[in-house]
């Protein structure tokens, strides 16, 4: 066997343990992830951290569903998984000692949990496995990194200069030069797939926020013999965006089936006929989406300022993700709360100014 699966940032329980997202995740594992592994005869999985979404507690239903869709099939199919502790898996911010994967998964003898840096060997390849680095384990992690004779490093790393979310680059974290001793570095933590030819952020398996819209998600198959990395894209998406303009388009035969079980944004550029617009919306609602939001007042924007990556409703998601990704001893929950307050004040001020 020369191929293993690499997956990272599963975030079971994301979006407030929403059932819609648990169902979405289940569809990926049931119809894409495990069928691919069975077809390729893959028996080893490397999980690079952030398996659970909440640091402080677990929702019982999210735990049950994660077992059913992911952990049980791994065991039942005779697979082995080596998994790192990520920052979302650890209760304290300054130590990895108390972590969800150690506490919740110890009944699975086929799962090897790593909360400390260590070398492992997979198919004859020595790999340096590096979990989330915090103040408590920093010195130990750096010592073990320097002493490791592995040719590959896999971790849940915060490295400066890489893209966390599309259009948002990390300015904090470790210097990439620390990892030059390794032939290749694969990491979780940042959800957007990007690399510099040496360090590869592999990205998470599925869309979780509007910031992920049209940003390919999935997992990887790594050939331990040739060192080639193959991306297996998740065919399922959670967000759809459509621009409505009945001046230039005819929506009589519009097929809204793609909106089924999706979060939908309708961007209204031109609405000259209210009945046509109402008929258009009826088609979308008939497709049974999870949610539909209509954005139709863009008079304040000049031509060309609205593009595929503009995300008006998810400013707080972007700010929260950025705060979570920054290495700091400050209370991130307080910082996020402060930013949320500022954002609410800004929205209120804008509303009062426009009245």
Interval 285-333: pLDDT, tens: 999 999 999 998 645 444 444 444 444 445 767 777 777 767 677 777 7
Q: Is the dihedral of CA 194, 213, 89, 63 positive or negative?
A: negative
Q: Which residues of the chain have pLDDT under 50?
A: 298, 300-313, 351-355
The pairing of beta strand 163-165 with beta strand 152-156: unpaired
Do residues 251 and 280 touch, judged by C-beta distance below 8 A?
yes
**What are phi and psi for residue 297, nearest 5 degrees?**
-115, 95
CA 138 to chain centre: 25
Helix (H, G, I), strand (E, B) or coil at 326: coil
pLDDT digits (tens, 9 = 90+) for 86-114: 999 999 999 999 999 999 999 999 999 99
pLDDT attached to residue 345:
65
pTM listed for this prediction: 0.84
Structure tokens at 69: 């869709």
pLDDT attached to residue 82:
98
pLDDT attached to residue 300:
43
Distance, in Å, from the CA atom of 326 to the CA atom of 243, rounded to the nearest integer, reads: 35
pLDDT attached to residue 185:
98
pLDDT attached to residue 333:
73
Helix (H, G, I), strand (E, B) or coil at 41: coil
Distance, in Å, from the CA atom of 190 to the CA atom of 197, rounded to the nearest integer, reads: 16
């Amino acid at each position: 066997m020369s191929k293993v699966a690499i997956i990272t940032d599963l975030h079971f329980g994301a979006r407030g343990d929403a059932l819609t997202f648990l169902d979405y995740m289940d569809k990926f594992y049931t119809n894409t992830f495990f069928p691919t592994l069975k077809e390729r005869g893959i028996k080893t999985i490397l999980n690079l951290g952030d398996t659970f979404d909440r640091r402080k507690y677990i929702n019982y239903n999210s735990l049950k569903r994660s077992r059913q869709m992911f952990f049980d099939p791994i065991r039942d199919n005779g697979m082995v998984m080596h998994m790192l502790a990520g920052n979302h898996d650890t209760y304290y911010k300054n130590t990895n000692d108390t972590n969800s994967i150690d506490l919740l998964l110890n009944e699975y003898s086929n799962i090897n949990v790593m909360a400390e840096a260590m070398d492992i060997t997979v198919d004859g390849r020595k790999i340096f496995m590096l979990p989330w680095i915090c103040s408590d384990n920093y010195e130990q992690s750096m010592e073990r990194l320097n002493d490791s004779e592995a040719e590959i490093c896999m971790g849940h790393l915060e490295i400066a200069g890489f893209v966390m979310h599309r259009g948002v680059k990390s300015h904090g974290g470790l210097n990439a030069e620390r990892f030059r001793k390794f032939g290749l570095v694969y990491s979780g933590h940042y959800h957007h797939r990007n690399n510099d030819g040496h360090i590869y952020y592999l990205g998470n398996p599925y869309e979780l926020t509007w910031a992920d819209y049209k940003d390919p998600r999935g997992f990887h198959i790594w050939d331990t013999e040739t060192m080639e990395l193959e991306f297996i894209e998740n065919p399922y998406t959670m967000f759809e965006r459509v621009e409505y303009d009945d001046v230039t388009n005819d929506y009589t035969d519009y097929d809204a089936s793609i909106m089924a079980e999706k979060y939908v944004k309708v961007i209204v550029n031109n609405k000259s006929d209210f009945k046509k617009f109402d008929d258009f919306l009826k088609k979308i609602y008939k497709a049974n989406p999870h949610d539909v939001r209509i954005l139709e007042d863009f008079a304040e924007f000049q031509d060309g300022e609205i593009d595929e990556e503009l995300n008006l409703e998810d400013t707080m998601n972007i700010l929260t993700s950025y705060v979570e990704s920054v290495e700091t001893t400050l209370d991130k929950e307080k910082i996020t709360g402060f930013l949320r307050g500022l954002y609410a004040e800004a929205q209120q001020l804008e509303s009062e100014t426009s009245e």
